[in-house]
Amino acid sequence: MSLRELPVFRDLRGFARYLEDRRLLARVGQPVSLVHEMTEVHHRTLLAGGPALWFEQAQGEGGPAAMPVLANLFGTAERVAAGFGVGPERIRELGEALAAMREPAPVDGLADAMSRWPMLRAALAAHPQQVSHPPCQAQSFLGQNVDLGRLPVQTCWPGEPAPLITWPLVITRPPDGGAGDTAGMNIGVYRMQVLDRDRVIMRWLAHRGGAAHHRAWAARGRDMPVAVAIGADPATILSAVLPLPETVSELHFSGVLRGERPRVAPALTVPLLVPADAEIVLEGYASATETAPEGPYGDHTGYYNSVENFPVMRVSAITMRRNPVYLTTFTGRPPDEPSVIGAVLNDLALPSMKRQMPEIADVWLPPEACSYRIAIVSIRKTYPGQARRVMMGFWGMLPQFNYTKTIIVVDEDIDVRDWRDVAWALATRLDASRDVMVTPNTPIDYLDFASPEPGLGGKLGLDATRKIGAETRREWNRTLAMAPDVKKRVDAIWPLLSAGFQFRAAP
Ligand SMILES: Cc1cc2nc3c(=O)[nH]c(=O)nc-3n(C[C@H](O)[C@H](O)[C@H](O)COP(=O)(O)O)c2cc1C
């Protein structure tokens, strides 16, 4: 892909080296416990905009971990953009290319589509390449030797029932494709509770790709083959997190981002292909029938989730690179790593949203509102009632916006990313008797226990735009602004005039 400006990162360690050379990754030599302590160290580092952390001496309950542990990999927007292969300022361009992939097919057919959308052409051409003796199988543990206790799995928060694999790339495929089916392959990040030496719980929410595949296998009465990569090149990791169109496989898309065909190899004990350069791979079968109660675990909402049953996977093989590194993170009240990634994805999705509703100037899903529960949308308003149209369009735009409980619509002069601006618009442009839209009984995040029923709740739309036409009978006062010539004159004398001022933090 022509957008890529950083070197190709074929694996996690290559990306880590790149970050370390730029002081964006730091090595931690002191012993740090995998139980709670690592979360606290990671949390503090993330809050301060600090580096990725390579823990050389992670401590398990039974002693030192057998391998180093990497955390806070995507703890800043800069590192997320680097994972996509670009600088932070080019994320919107990448979003433009993604938006083109989502457009419906033009009348002139596929050839025309290919010529217009280089990203689509690249995605289709990014056929995985099968390699023999893949690095990820340099060591393998099968049968009686399978023991998840070999891995430095974190216990993130007090009161959690068992260690939790937090950055698994869960690879599945539908039952009708063969072992080599990479086009139908899904890769998603679904946390995994460790039950014992060879069993984990697969916590995929019902609308996820992995859950859909599992339903299809279970409907045929068959256990589903699963492979789980822990630690891979950043393009594969980020592709797994991206809400890609269903027709685009994460594996193929990772090749587009990386600018190199994905390297895969057959798993040893399940009919699936796995990323050849992953650090660690778990193989096994997710049972069609066996479930176990999962949690409670700390969630990205800032609460422990409710305990619920999810399918159990029995691990048939653990394979690893030589000297593997274990990738981990925690989820908690934002900011956490997923919320930092979410803010970058917000910008990545913006061009796509603008194509669907051209009046949209900007959109912000504040990370502190769990990255999707509140949306602030600024528009170029030209007709009465437009803010409500935008709210309804927004709720219908992408499946994940089902979970956006509150939409605040503002004019283009308001910076959606600045709560002070948004509060001013709410305080001066909204009237509760006219500008509030409440819609009951809509689909809602089932993790949201504020709604009266699980999965069903209300939506709130706040129209904080200036009112025009039939929306008001009153004259709308002009916005205060200093005359430009006065500003210019003061600009000229400001350095001298303010030379002796002491400035504190801005109010
Ligand atoms: C660190 C992290 C942990 C996540 N944990 C879960 C999880 O436990 N369950 C889940 O359904 N989604 C989880 N997600 C979100 C999904 O991985 C993400 O929405 C992905 O796009 C889903 O892919 P899919 O649409 O192919 O299913 C997590 C994301 C991240 C970044």
| pLDDT at residue 1, as a whole number | 46
Query: How far apart are the C-alpha atoms of 15 and 1, rounded to whole Å?
Result: 18
Query: How far apart are the C-alpha atoms of 210 and 220, rounded to whole Å?
Result: 16
**272 and 420 together in one domain:** no
**124 and 244 together in one domain:** yes
| pLDDT at residue 100, as a whole number | 77
Assess if residue 483 is contained within a domain.
Answer: no
Main-chain dihedrals φ then ψ at residue 378, nearest 5 degrees:
-100, 140
Assess if residue 127 is contained within a domain.
Answer: yes
Report helix, strand or coil for 497. helix
**309 and 417 together in one domain:** no
Here the CATH number for the domain that contains residue 49 is 2.30.110.10
Here the CATH number for the domain that contains residue 453 is 3.40.1670.10
- 394 near 409, Cβ under 8 Å? no
Assess if residue 318 is contained within a domain.
Answer: yes
Query: How far apart are the C-alpha atoms of 128 and 14, rounded to whole Å?
Result: 20
Assess if residue 6 is contained within a domain.
Answer: no
Closest CA to 49 of 282, 372, 337, 350: 337
Assess if residue 332 is contained within a domain.
Answer: no
Assess if residue 361 is contained within a domain.
Answer: yes
| pLDDT at residue 247, as a whole number | 78
- pTM of the shown model: 0.94
**373 and 427 together in one domain:** yes
Query: How far apart are the C-alpha atoms of 316 and 156, rounded to whole Å?
Result: 26
For 218, which DSSP code?
H
State how far Cα 482 lies from the chain centre: 42
**302 and 445 together in one domain:** no
Distance 71 CA to ligand 1 centre (A): 17
- 57 near 209, Cβ under 8 Å? no
What order of strands is seen across the sheet that includes strand 25-28? 25-28, 52-55, 69-71, 326-327
Task: Tell me if 29 CB under 6 Å of ligand 1.
Answer: no
Task: Tell me if 387 CB under 6 Å of ligand 1.
Answer: no
| pLDDT at residue 121, as a whole number | 61
Query: How far apart are the C-alpha atoms of 267 and 59, rounded to whole Å?
Result: 30
Active site residues: 299
Assess if residue 40 is contained within a domain.
Answer: yes
Q: Which amino acid is at 416?
A: V
Query: How far apart are the C-alpha atoms of 154 and 300, rounded to whole Å?
Result: 16
Q: Structural domain tally of the chain?
A: 2
**321 and 378 together in one domain:** no
Distance 188 CA to ligand 1 centre (A): 6
Looking at the CA of residue 187, tell me the nearest atom of ligand 1. Answer: 26
Rg of the chain over Cα atoms, rounded to whole angstroms, equals 25
Looking at the CA of residue 242, tell me the nearest atom of ligand 1. Answer: 21
**122 and 212 together in one domain:** yes
| pLDDT at residue 111, as a whole number | 63
**164 and 95 together in one domain:** yes
Give the number of other CB atoms < 10 A from CB of residue 440: 9
DSSP per residue, 432-448? TTTSEEEEEEEE--TT-
- Tens digit of pLDDT per residue, the chain (507 long)? 457 899 999 999 999 999 999 999 999 999 999 999 999 999 999 999 999 999 999 999 889 999 999 999 999 999 999 999 999 999 999 888 878 776 655 545 556 655 655 665 666 667 899 999 999 999 999 999 999 999 999 999 999 999 999 999 999 999 998 999 898 999 999 999 999 999 999 999 998 999 999 999 999 999 999 999 999 999 999 999 998 877 788 999 999 899 899 999 999 999 999 999 999 999 999 999 999 999 999 999 999 999 999 999 999 999 999 999 999 999 999 999 999 999 999 999 999 999 999 999 999 999 999 999 999 999 999 999 999 999 999 999 988 899 999 999 999 999 999 999 999 999 999 999 999 999 999 999 988 999 999 999 999 999 999 999 999 999 999 999 999 999 999 999 999 999 999 999 888
Kind of pairing between the strands at 129-130 and 263-266: parallel
**127 and 208 together in one domain:** yes
Assess if residue 417 is contained within a domain.
Answer: yes
Distance 136 CA to ligand 1 centre (A): 23
**195 and 286 together in one domain:** yes
Distance 468 CA to ligand 1 centre (A): 42
2 sits in the region (left: phi over 0; alpha: psi -120 to 50; else beta) called alpha
Give the number of other CB atoms < 10 A from CB of residue 114: 14
**376 and 419 together in one domain:** yes
For 19, which DSSP code?
H
**162 and 278 together in one domain:** yes
| pLDDT at residue 107, as a whole number | 45
Report helix, strand or coil for 162. coil
Who contacts 471 (Cβ-Cβ below 8 Å, separation ≥6)? 384, 385, 434
Looking at the CA of residue 212, tell me the nearest atom of ligand 1. Answer: 27
Q: Whose CA is nearest to atom 15 of ligand 1?
A: 189
Task: Tell me if 83 CB under 6 Å of ligand 1.
Answer: no
Closest CA to 310 of 191, 163, 227: 191
Task: Tell me if 51 CB under 6 Å of ligand 1.
Answer: no
Torsion sign (Cα): 284, 288, 290, 294 = positive
Please give the residue range of the domain that contains residue 282.
Answer: 12-327
Q: Which of 327, 342, 367 is the last residue of a domain?
A: 327
